Structures are given as C-alpha cells and as structure tokens.
Amino acid sequence: MKILITGGKGQLAQQIYGIIKKGSSDLGIMDEAYKNAELWMPDADEMDITNLEEVKQKLTEFNPEIIINCAAMTNVDGCESNEELAFTVNALGARNLAIVCENIGARLIHISTDYVFKGEGQIPYKEYDMTAPASVYGKSKLLGENYVREFCRKYFIVRTSWLYGHGGSNFVKTIIKAAREKGELQVVNDQRGNPTYAEDLAHHILKLALTEEYGIYHCTGNGECSWYDFARAIVEYANINCRVEPITSEKLNRAAKRPSFSSLDNMMLRCTIGDEMREWTEALRSFINS
C-alpha cells in the first residue's frame, strides 16, 4: 500500500507517521494493511499542492492508494491579511488533490475545521448542520471542502478543532512554556470548543481510510471547555505553579473573529466506525505524561 500525506512536517502528519511505523496508537493496534505501507510525506518544498500540473505529475508517478491532506494555511489572523494566499492553499490546494485523486482512483482524507461554522450556537454542531464561516480561514476551508465533494467520489472530510500533538507548535506547548517563564497567565473564557489530541485523531483517520464509509465526519476530543479551562488543566497536569486568570476575547483585539461556541458532535463516527475519541481531560493527561 502506498500512502501520501501532505503537510509532512506538521504535527498531525507526524503523528500519523508515528502510528503507522509503530503499528499501534494509544487507542489500540492498527490494521495489518499498514504494516508494509510505503509512505511519502511531502511538505510545500517537495510538492506545491497549489500547482495542479505539479500535483498531477507527482501523484501519478507515486500512484498512492490513500492521500491524507494535512496541508493548510492555519494562521487564522494571517489569513485575514492575505486572503488570496489562504484561498489558494486551503481551497485550490484541496481542489487539485481531489481532481488527481479521482483520476488515479485514490481515496482522499481531507482535514477541515470547526471554523466552517458560525460559532454562535449552544448545542454541539453535527455534520449536517448549516455552515456559515465568519473568518477568511473558515471560508477558505469550507470552499476546500466543497471542491473535495465536487471533484472526488472517494472522500472523507474530517473536521477537527483545537489540535495539539508532539510535533510543531500548539496551544498546550505554548501554555506550558509561558506558565514556566511567567508564573501568571490570562486566557480567554468566552470561547468554547473541543481540545483534540493528534494521537486520537490520527487513529480514527487511519481507521476510516481503509473503509468505504465516505462522507463528512467530526472528530474531536469528547467533552467541551473554554480556552481558560483548557489552560488551567494544562498547568495542573504539568504540575506548574502558575496563576491563570480569565479574560474576554475583546481584550486580545485579533484580526479574525473567533467562534464563541464551536463544539463538534462526533455523530457520524458513532454511526460508522465508532467513536473512540477520549474525553479531552484524559487525552490531555496522556499527552503531558508522554
């Protein structure tokens, strides 16, 4: 089996790679089909997903059976100031992969986000709920979803949120570093969502990829909290003596509007392969302990 993972240097791609090489995740043993898988994990310098001809050439040469698209422009505020680049990477990049997947008969797993929703609800969003992104980042990711659905038949769109893992930078690492250096932090308490450990997400992606259960999925840590709650738990589990105070989003004065409530419901996981995503507190403890 040949598997291509875009965004190869990112935290999710690296987590998927580790699980395939080890043959298991924290949640269990992976299918034997992955045992001798040939992996190619190009980053932007090896394959420019925004260039359709380059994508055609390189994917046709490698001829993967599974493509996992982890590549994205995820700087939410940066997307606001560079709209065209955001849409080129997040929308056209996804379109190009979908077109070539259809041509070579590959399955495409496309990673998306909770930002495709307006983020003003009170009940966790299900896969069928109306999308209405409020930021350039969310709009570019939604267009990418639409292109995947339009140009590729064998697709899995996997929406996730508040992702952290061992590779790259993320909220958990940032809070641990800041807590140790400063001893006092202020974190917003008016945005709620689902912290998601990349280990758990990668496990479910690899389970889905071997099925024909195509469609849209939500895959986040179970349970919800605010960024303030998340930060307090990080400091507590890492055993750092640090005071964490709540503040409102207005005080941060960011370029992009953040959803105040973007909790996702993993309904379609439960209906198909099963939802083994851990409670966010349990997964966070596991990450910090490791």
198 contacts 166 by C-beta, under 8 angstroms: yes
> Would you call 43 exposed, middle or buried from its count of C-beta atoms within 10 A (0-12, 13-18, 19+)?
middle
**Which CATH number covers residue 227?**
3.40.50.720
pLDDT at residue 255 above 80?
no
Place 100 in a pLDDT band, splitting at 50, 70 and 90: very high
How many folded domains does the chain comprise?
A: 1
> What is the pLDDT, as a whole number, of residue 258?
87
> What is the pLDDT, as a whole number, of residue 188?
95
55 DSSP assignment:
H
CA dist 236 and 226 (Å) reads 15
Q: For residue range 35-92, list pLDDT tens digits in order.
A: 999 999 999 999 999 999 999 999 999 999 999 999 999 999 999 999 999 999 999 9
What lies within 8 Å, CB to CB, of 218 at 6+ separation is: 125, 126, 127, 158, 159, 160, 264, 265, 266, 267, 268, 269
> What is the pLDDT, as a whole number, of residue 73?
96
> What is the pLDDT, as a whole number, of residue 167?
86
Q: How many CB atoms neighbour CB 210 within 10 A?
A: 16
> What is the pLDDT, as a whole number, of residue 249?
87
260 contacts 191 by C-beta, under 8 angstroms: yes
Place 9 in a pLDDT band, splitting at 50, 70 and 90: very high
pLDDT at residue 252 above 80?
no
This model's pTM is above 0.75: yes
Q: For residue range 215-251, list pLDDT tens digits in order.
A: 999 999 999 999 999 999 999 999 999 999 999 988 8
Q: Which of 34, 115, 125, 137 is catalytic?
A: 137
Q: Is 137 a catalytic residue?
A: yes
| Averaged confidence pLDDT in the chain | 96
209 contacts 68 by C-beta, under 8 angstroms: yes
- Structural domain boundaries, residue 30: 2-289
> What is the pLDDT, as a whole number, of residue 250?
82
pLDDT at residue 2 above 80?
yes
Give me the mean pLDDT over the 169-177 stretch.
95
Q: For residue range 106-159, list pLDDT tens digits in order.
A: 999 999 999 999 999 899 999 999 999 999 999 999 999 999 999 999 999 999
